[in-house]
């Protein structure tokens, strides 16, 4: 069952996943995640990270391990995972892998309203989109090719590539059919000269 989690932000999952290896303070984790390119997979800003640490602590998944200070720098609070946190990590991962979630990508919203634009314009915009998709594909492929890590650690990038390829194919197919649909479509735009 997808009963509601005490901490819903996926950034919390990443925190648990990293703390299982070693206790850390938020700022250290922030650098680590950026270095690993995790910001491509998990949305996070500097500010939300501290929020999530606070939420996880309140929920009992992590505890303050120690607080230290170097020179006059601000104090650092190091957190460690609890047993409850370890359990939450496993349980959350199981749910995310086993149950495909119904999500709401922006492009889907736009497609559901697509008749609001004139078909000629849609065709031009879709060609722009194809360019953008190809750029994203090139980026992802460069990351996979350029890394010397085991493919296990880039499996999320391969997933992204698979979805991007599917979207490219869909957009091309859409472009091919647009002319056939023009008669019906035009009905919505009579008033515009």
Partner DNA sequence: TCCTGGATAGTCAGAGTTGACTAGGAGGTG
Partner DNA sequence: CACCTCCTAGTCAACTCTGACTATCCAGGA
- Least separation in angstroms between CB 25 and a second copy: 20
Q: Which is nearer to DNA, 76 or 86 (CB)?
A: 76
Binding positions for DNA, 70-89, rule CB under 7 A: 70-77
Q: Which residues, at least 6 apart from 84, have a Cβ–Cβ distance to it below 8 Å?
A: 59, 60, 61
Q: Can residue 132 be called a binding residue for a second copy (CB under 8 A)?
A: yes
Among 20, 45, 124, 166, binds DNA (CB under 7 A): 45
Q: Can residue 193 be called a binding residue for a second copy (CB under 8 A)?
A: no
- Least separation in angstroms between CB 82 and a second copy: 16
DSSP line for 101-162? -----HHHHHHHTGGGS-HHHHHHHHHHHHHHHHHHHHHHHHHHHH--S-GGGGHHHHHHHH
Q: Which is nearer to a second copy, 7 or 122 (CB)?
A: 122
Q: List the one residue out of 1, 29, 16, 26 whose CA is nearest residue 90.
A: 16
- Least separation in angstroms between CB 173 and a second copy: 8
- Least separation in angstroms between CB 22 and a second copy: 14
Among 50, 59, 158, 175, binds a second copy (CB under 8 A): 158
**What is the distance between the alpha carbons of residues 101 and 95, in angstroms, rounded to a whole number?**
10
Over the Cα atoms of the chain, what is R_g?
23
């Amino acid at each position: 069952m997808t009963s509601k989690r005490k901490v819903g932000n996926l950034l919390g999952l990443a925190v648990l996943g990293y703390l299982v290896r070693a206790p850390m303070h938020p700022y250290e984790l922030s650098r680590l995640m950026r270095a690993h390119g995790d910001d491509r997979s998990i949305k996070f800003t500097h500010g939300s990270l501290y929020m999530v640490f606070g939420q996880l602590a309140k929920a009992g998944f992590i505890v303050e391990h120690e607080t230290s200070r170097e020179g006059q720098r601000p104090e650092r609070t190091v957190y460690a995972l609890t047993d409850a946190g370890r359990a939450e990590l496993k349980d959350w991962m199981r749910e995310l892998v086993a149950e495909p979630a119904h999500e709401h990508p922006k492009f889907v919203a736009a497609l559901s309203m697509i008749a609001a634009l004139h078909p000629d314009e849609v065709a031009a915009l879709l060609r722009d989109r194809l360019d953008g998709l190809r750029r994203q594909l090139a980026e992802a492929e460069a990351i996979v090719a350029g890394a010397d890590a085991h493919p296990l650690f880039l499996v999320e990038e391969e997933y992204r590539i698979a979805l991007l390829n599917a979207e490219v194919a869909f957009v091309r197919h859409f472009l091919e059919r647009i002319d056939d649909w023009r008669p019906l479509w035009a009905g919505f735009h009579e008033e515009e000269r």
